[in-house]
């Protein structure tokens, strides 16, 4: 075990020789991640922080097929740093061993993760680095993953989706509306529809759908230019990160719509209904429509406002 753990953090060439003949696995790693932490069982470690260094390696099965430079198809590095941050915020701990175990379990909850090596070291406690190293596989923590699933589900953010008509995008009060919306507890995701200008017509249903989705994204970039706090995002990975980090998003729909296993039958010209479908997909707490009529049906609570109405 000690040798295997050492090789987890070794140079890739050394590790490749040692694991020749085994089932091939890819690895992602986090190196020398240092955080100020209050941790420790001794009295002089209470009420003060010390530097703690994290090194984590996660083994994943190689992706089958083409990755296509698509962040949604891999295990994002953010999941590793988020696992560390979550466990540090959950409660004060006495032991690095406990912290390492909890971080490993949270990482192994990710579908792509097969095995993880976690090394945690106190940098300031002695003349050298004092730490612990563990290795855990999915099989090792299987009994804990089911209960962790309920915990993770409760942690998922429920954003507020706000659809803005073209008139609302151009309204001089837009920055003030975003000020109000950003102060609410729920993460904020803005949606837009087709721009008013003419767009190419292909004469084919499927290709026209792609053209129209891209036109919506262009309109989203126009919205982002009106308020630089708004960032256009296209992937679920980006959306998850943004919601957890209080970033205001503008939804670029092409990827989520086209990648959906059971995608919506809604055409992009029905942009409010398409945004309502998206709100249901991400389990939004509500949807607000400014300057357009409501769709006939919606999977979430939805209300409409005219551009001249008070926002709340």
Q: Say yes or no to pLDDT of 169 above 80.
A: yes
Tens-digit pLDDT profile for residues 5-58? 666 666 555 654 545 556 667 888 899 999 999 998 888 888 999 999 999 999
Mean pLDDT value across residues 254-273 = 87
Q: Say yes or no to pLDDT of 188 above 90.
A: yes
Per-residue HEC secondary structure of 217-240 comes to HHHHHHHHHHCCCEEEECCHHHHH
Q: Which residue, among 249, 227, 230, has the nearest Cα to 239 in the 3D structure?
A: 249
pLDDT on residue 307: 63
pLDDT on residue 19: 52
Tens-digit pLDDT profile for residues 77-88? 888 999 999 899
What is the percent of the chain where pLDDT is above 90? 44
Report the chain's mean pLDDT, rounded to a whole number. Answer: 85
Q: Which residue has the higher pLDDT, 65 or 264?
A: 264
Q: Which two tokens stand for residue 162?
A: 């706000």
Query: What order of strands is seen across the sheet that includes strand 50-60?
Result: 26-37, 50-60, 113-122, 130-137
Q: Which two tokens stand for residue 131?
A: 């730490």
The total number of residues shown for the chain amounts to 312
For the whole model, what pTM was predicted?
0.70
Tens-digit pLDDT profile for residues 101-154? 999 999 998 888 888 999 999 998 878 888 999 888 888 888 877 777 777 777
């Amino acid at each position: 075990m000690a040798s295997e753990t050492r090789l987890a953090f070794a140079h890739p060439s050394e590790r490749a020789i040692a694991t020749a003949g085994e089932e091939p696995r890819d690895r992602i790693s986090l190196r020398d991640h240092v955080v100020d932490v209050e941790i420790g069982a001794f009295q002089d470690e209470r009420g003060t922080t010390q530097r703690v260094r994290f090194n984590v390696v996660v083994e994943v099965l190689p992706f089958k097929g083409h990755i296509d430079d698509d962040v949604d198809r891999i295990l994002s590095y953010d999941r590793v740093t988020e696992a560390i941050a979550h466990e540090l915020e959950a409660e004060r701990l006495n032991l690095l061993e406990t912290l390492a175990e909890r971080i490993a379990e949270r990482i192994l909850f990710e579908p792509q993760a097969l095995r993880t090596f976690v090394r945690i070291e106190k940098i300031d406690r002695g003349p050298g680095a004092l730490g612990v190293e563990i290795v855990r596989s999915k099989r090792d923590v299987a009994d804990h993953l089911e209960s962790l699933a309920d915990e993770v589900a409760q942690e998922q953010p429920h954003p507020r989706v706000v659809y803005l008509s073209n008139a609302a995008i151009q309204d001089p009060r837009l920055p003030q509306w975003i000020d109000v919306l950003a102060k609410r507890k729920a993460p904020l995701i803005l949606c837009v529809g087709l721009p008013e200008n003419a767009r190419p017509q292909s004469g084919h249903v499927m290709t026209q759908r792609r053209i129209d989705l891209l036109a919506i994204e262009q309109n989203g970039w126009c919205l982002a230019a009106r308020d630089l706090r708004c960032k256009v995002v296209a992937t679920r990975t980006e959306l998850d990160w943004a919601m957890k980090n209080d970033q205001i998003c503008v939804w670029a729909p092409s990827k989520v719509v086209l990648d959906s296993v059971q995608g919506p039958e809604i055409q992009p010209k029905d942009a409010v209904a398409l945004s309502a479908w998206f709100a249901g997909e991400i389990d939004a707490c509500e949807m607000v429509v400014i300057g357009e009529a409501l769709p006939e049906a919606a999977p979430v609570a939805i209300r409409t406002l005219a551009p001249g109405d008070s926002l709340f």
